[in-house]
Amino acid sequence: MIDLSTEYLGLKLVNPLVPSSSPLTGELDTAKKMEDAGASALVLPSLFEEVIEHEQKQLERFVHSQSLGSYEAQSYQPIPEDYGSELDNYLERIEQFKSALGIPVIASLNGISTSGWIDTGKELQQAGADALELNVYYIAADPGTSGEDVENRYLQLLADLREHITVPVTMKLSSQFSSVANMVAKLQQAGAQGVSLFNRFYQPDIDLETLHIKPALELSSSVESLLRIRWIAMIRGRVDLSIAATGGFHQTEDIVKALLAGADVTHLCSVLLQKGPDHIAVLKQELEEWLEQHEYESVAQMKGSVSQSCAINPAALEHSNYMHVIKSYGQ
């Protein structure tokens, strides 16, 4: 019997297959299907800072109009019916998922400023979230913002939250840091129990007819997993926190490579949007078969065995391999 269990953010998971934040993880029926198919935990869709801020502004406007006490202002500014609805719905969803599912439920916050997140973090914890994933989706468009400024945002946000909540916190990072390994080490020092590598930035497109910038959401493909696998292999063994691989994990082979590189779990999104929540059962079955065929008894045994600290040819992960790769073209 192959043991697929793994540990992630201090949680004991029955296998490394974790649906990541997406519309699929926000519906209880679909979440139940994914659990039945073998998902070992799930990350809820993010609660967005912009939405909470918008609701707060609505309330402030309402309170202001009430304090003016004028009939006109009150009738013009009705009580916002949906005040607090996003946060309240989110908290309700955590409670509902926790009572209906047996797997850990990880809440997700998406924002860039610390204001407000501490209270929200506490509420998510109280509602029963087993861990928090922070997705600091920040595009440093201002030339006056330095790399250090950007890093400090992440570190400050994490440190503030860590002071007030006890559930594990993991940071979902983009690959766009000058030194990914150093950033992960700094996050660990600031109290992160894990990192999810890497967030995908969706690139807006230009509509050539209207000349408008239009949003574009493309699902990933397997080739994107290689960037994640490379970085995970380079940091596993050098930092001491949980690592989730996210972005481009479609085939069982991609998942196997992430585990060999040193991931504790692989997050799944595009593949489940394309193939449906039941596809987790296929991936789980194939993962088991792969381990059996390659004479591994457990995920724990294979995890990190091709990380840089264990690899047969560690230099192949670094720059020294660049020259060989480009010379191999066409051979």
Ligand X SMILES: Cc1cc2nc3c(=O)[nH]c(=O)nc-3n(C[C@H](O)[C@H](O)[C@H](O)COP(=O)(O)O)c2cc1C
Which residues of the chain form contacts with ligand X (CB under 6 A)?
20-23, 45-46, 108, 110, 135, 172, 199-200, 219-220, 246-249, 267-271
Among 154, 161, 163, 166, which residue's Cα sits nearest to residue 196?
Answer: 154
For 121, residues 6+ apart whose C-beta sits below 8 A from its C-beta are 109, 132, 161, 164, 165
Nearer to ligand X, 230 or 296 (CB): 230
Shortest gap between Cβ of 294 and ligand X (angstroms)? 24
For 33, residues 6+ apart whose C-beta sits below 8 A from its C-beta are 277, 278
Nearer to ligand X, 250 or 308 (CB): 250
- Kind and range of the H or E run holding 91: helix 85-100
Please state, in angstroms and rounded to a whole number, the distance separating the CA atoms of residues 80 and 86: 13
Please report the DSSP string for 18-84 in residue order.
EE-SSGGGG-HHHHHHHHHHT---EEPPPEEHHHHHHHHHHHHHHHHHHHHT-HHHHHHS---TTTT
Nearer to ligand X, 20 or 120 (CB): 20
**Residue whose pair of structure tokens reads 């209906």 in the numeric block:** 100
Nearer to ligand X, 45 or 304 (CB): 45
Shortest gap between Cβ of 224 and ligand X (angstroms)? 6
Nearer to ligand X, 65 or 267 (CB): 267
For 198, residues 6+ apart whose C-beta sits below 8 A from its C-beta are 173, 174, 175, 227, 228, 231, 246, 247
Shortest gap between Cβ of 269 and ligand X (angstroms)? 3
3-state secondary structure of 150: helix
Nearer to ligand X, 123 or 308 (CB): 123
Shortest gap between Cβ of 19 and ligand X (angstroms)? 8
Shortest gap between Cβ of 232 and ligand X (angstroms)? 14
Shortest gap between Cβ of 80 and ligand X (angstroms)? 23
